[in-house]
């Protein structure tokens, strides 16, 4: 699969990341088949979090991949921490404890990437910096990033954290594209012009932070998948037309829409279906035209000023 550099870390990663949030819904045999198929097709970057399945997803993955030191060197592992049952927690103690738990469950000595999962209102960036320094010096984490954070939240961290933040995992799809569409409505009075994220897309591009879109097929906040949904007939018709043109599935076209953006994003899949995963990976070989990209944007209900 085509690769990109994750931020300015020097780490080359597949342009499609495999999200493992739902792997606990598979049987052991199904999980093994899914993971090994992903590796076989070059989808070797696996995204985890300590809260997925209350940690069970990481354990299931390690068993499915038959984790050994030799296997570990053939894959890339990213995990996230900072969400507790009743709070968000970026304290040094919690970050260090969370990483140790993930390493134990994943049966590995290190993470390639650690992301802070959601913003902590009580964050003390000095503690984050201390945790990152300790994790880096011990070899437990090689690269760092964030998830769902605004430019100012990242700036605050970067005032104290010396490691470059390589990635920011953000919700983005054709139907949830405000980080893109607000840039088209600058200096206008309509609702699309409202700045809801502080210009995070351009901020990430300016600072060499890779955007990792999550829920690339969802509309709303986990309200459902827009593919085949009667809520989006025009969008589905436009997607199906392009799928027929390129001889691929509608899944491939949706992923290709994200990859067409010049920000060089790394979308995170959520499927546990091997066929759909393969369709996602095929998007790395398709480059939509400018006209095709805009046609899908408009078909989703977005407007140009």
Give me the sign of the Cα torsion angle 289, 205, 152, 17.
Answer: positive
* Helix residue ranges, H only, the chain: 28-40, 56-65, 69-72, 92-106, 125-137, 151-160, 178-181, 200-206, 233-246, 250-260, 274-282, 290-299
CA 290 to chain centre: 24
* Helix residue ranges, H only, 107-150: 125-137
Span between the terminal Cα atoms of the chain, in Å:
37
Q: Is 246 a catalytic residue?
A: no
β-bridge partners, 113: 78, 143
Residue 209: C-alpha distances to residues 69, 123, 149, 206, 268 (Å): 29, 21, 12, 8, 15
Identify the CA nearest to 239 among candidates 250, 247, 231, 229: 250
Which token pair is 97? 């404890």
> Count H helices, E strands: the chain?
12, 12
Which token pair is 159? 């005032």
The catalytic site residues sit at 52
């Amino acid at each position: 699969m085509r690769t990109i550099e994750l931020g300015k870390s020097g780490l080359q990663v597949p342009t499609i990341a495999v999200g493992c949030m739902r792997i606990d819904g598979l049987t052991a045999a199904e999980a093994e088949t899914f993971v090994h198929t992903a590796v076989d097709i070059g989808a070797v970057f696996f995204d985890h979090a300590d809260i997925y399945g209350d940690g069970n997803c990481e354990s299931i993955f390690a068993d499915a991949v038959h984790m050994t030191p030799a296997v570990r060197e053939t894959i890339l592992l990213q995990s996230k921490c900072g969400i507790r049952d009743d709070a968000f927690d970026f304290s040094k103690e919690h970050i260090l404890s969370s990483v140790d738990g993930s390493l134990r469950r994943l049966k590995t000595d290190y993470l390639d990437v650690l992301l802070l999962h959601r913003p902590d209102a009580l964050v003390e960036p000095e503690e984050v910096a201390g945790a990152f320094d300790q994790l880096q010096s011990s070899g437990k984490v090689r690269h760092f990033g964030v998830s769902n954070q605004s430019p100012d939240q990242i700036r605050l961290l970067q005032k104290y954290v010396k490691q470059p933040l390589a990635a920011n995992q953000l919700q983005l799809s054709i139907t949830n594209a405000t980080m893109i569409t607000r840039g088209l409505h600058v200096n206008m009075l309509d609702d699309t012009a409202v700045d809801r994220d502080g210009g995070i897309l351009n901020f990430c591009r300016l600072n060499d932070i890779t955007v990792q879109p999550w829920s690339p097929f969802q509309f709303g906040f986990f309200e459902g998948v827009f593919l085949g949904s009667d809520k989006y007939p025009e969008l589905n018709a436009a997607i199906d037309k392009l799928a027929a043109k390129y001889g691929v599935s509608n899944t491939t076209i949706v992923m290709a829409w994200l990859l067409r953006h010049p920000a060089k994003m790394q979308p995170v899949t959520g499927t546990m279906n091997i066929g759909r995963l393969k369709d996602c990976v095929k998007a790395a070989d398709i480059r939509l035209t400018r006209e095709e990209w805009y046609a899908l944007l408009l078909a989703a209900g977005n407007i140009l000023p």
